[in-house]
Amino acid sequence: MYSFRRILLFTKVSPRGGNCKVLDTTTILHVPSKSKSRKTLEMYDVSLAMKYGLTDEVVIQDHEYYFDIPFADLNDITTNIITYIGGYVVKMLEKQFKCPECLEECLVKANQLSGVNYMLLLRKKRGALHTPSSSVVKICCTTEIYIKRMMIMTDGALPPETGFFDTFMVAVAQKTYEYNLFEELDHHFSCFAFSEENHKFLLIKLIIKNYLKIRIFSLGRRYTQKMSGPLVRQQLTKLILFNHQ
């Protein structure tokens, strides 16, 4: 190798062109070593939606292995907890959505703060908590129902597929469009119906995204604790002298 290098230096051979001389001005297109490909994800994947029970389509029961997904029901305690989380969802929404009219309708009025769903929030409220409107609570409850259906299909694990959460948000948004949400903003929504900033769609999408972010963080933590097992050192630090302690 050293001798070959000395020969190259002695004959003054260029490492790029060798001992050839350029006879014309033709340029060669260079291809980078790492080709960059732009990946486009479909917003809604039907196979993923059916795999994790995110569709309400009727499936023909013509096989022995047919598994019917029970549609999860929410009791009063669960609904109160969802309403409590919905207040934090609105707080997150204030940093992401800058339309004052839409944000005003996401909060409930002081004279309308009543009902079974707000019992926990009324007990915990000391003046600083956000009180979500009934439309926000309905969107969060629908998201929770679909999360429960998903967890039934995965046996408590989180889906590993790329683009699942986009599919999840679109599936829940399609379900919530069946409800009469934010009725007082119908005229306001009609002003942006044919523009790129569809306020109704953006509002529902952000509410679903924020609630899903909170719940997935909690589910991921619980799943990690389940996989790692009990933390013996943390529990027995005061009782056992470990090595190098």
pLDDT score, position 194: 64
CA distance 229 to 210: 29
**For the segment 112-141, what is each residue's pLDDT rounded down to a tens digit?**
777 788 888 888 887 778 889 989 999 999
pLDDT band at 16 (very low <50, low <70, confident <90, very high): low
CA distance 75 to 225: 27
Instruction: Report, as an integer, the average pLDDT of 100-119.
Output: 82
**For the segment 216-232, what is each residue's pLDDT rounded down to a tens digit?**
998 888 878 777 777 66
Per DSSP, helices labelled H in the chain are: 2-11, 46-51, 76-96, 100-105, 119-124, 134-154, 164-176, 186-191, 199-228, 232-235
pLDDT score, position 233: 64
Closest CA to 207 of 85, 39, 62, 40: 85
Does the pLDDT at position 212 exceed 70? yes
CA distance 52 to 231: 32
Which residues on neighbouring strands pair with residue 14, listed in sequence order? 18
pLDDT score, position 237: 65
Average pLDDT, the chain: 76
Higher pLDDT, residue 209 or 244: 209
Higher pLDDT, residue 240 or 158: 158
List Cα–Cα distances, 153 to 21, 149, 166, in angstroms: 68, 7, 18
**For the segment 74-100, what is each residue's pLDDT rounded down to a tens digit?**
888 999 999 999 999 999 999 998 888
Q: Which residues contact 131 (CB under 8 A, 6 or more apart)?
A: 87, 107, 108, 113, 118, 121, 125
Buried (b) or exposed (e) across 195-209, using 16+ Cβ within 10 A?
Answer: eeeebbebbbbbbbb
CA distance 141 to 105: 18
Higher pLDDT, residue 132 or 197: 132
Cβ of 91: how many Cβ atoms within 10 Å? 14
Count how many Cα atoms sit within 13 Å of the Cα of residue 234 in the half-sphere of its side chain. Answer: 3
pLDDT band at 198 (very low <50, low <70, confident <90, very high): confident
Query: What is the Cα gyration radius of the chain?
Result: 29
pLDDT score, position 177: 82
pLDDT score, position 82: 92
pLDDT score, position 117: 83
Closest CA to 120 of 75, 79, 90, 91: 79
**For the segment 24-66, what is each residue's pLDDT rounded down to a tens digit?**
666 655 555 444 444 433 456 777 888 887 876 544 444 444 4
CA distance 176 to 140: 10
Cβ of 110: how many Cβ atoms within 10 Å? 7
Q: Which two tokens stand for residue 168?
A: 């999840």
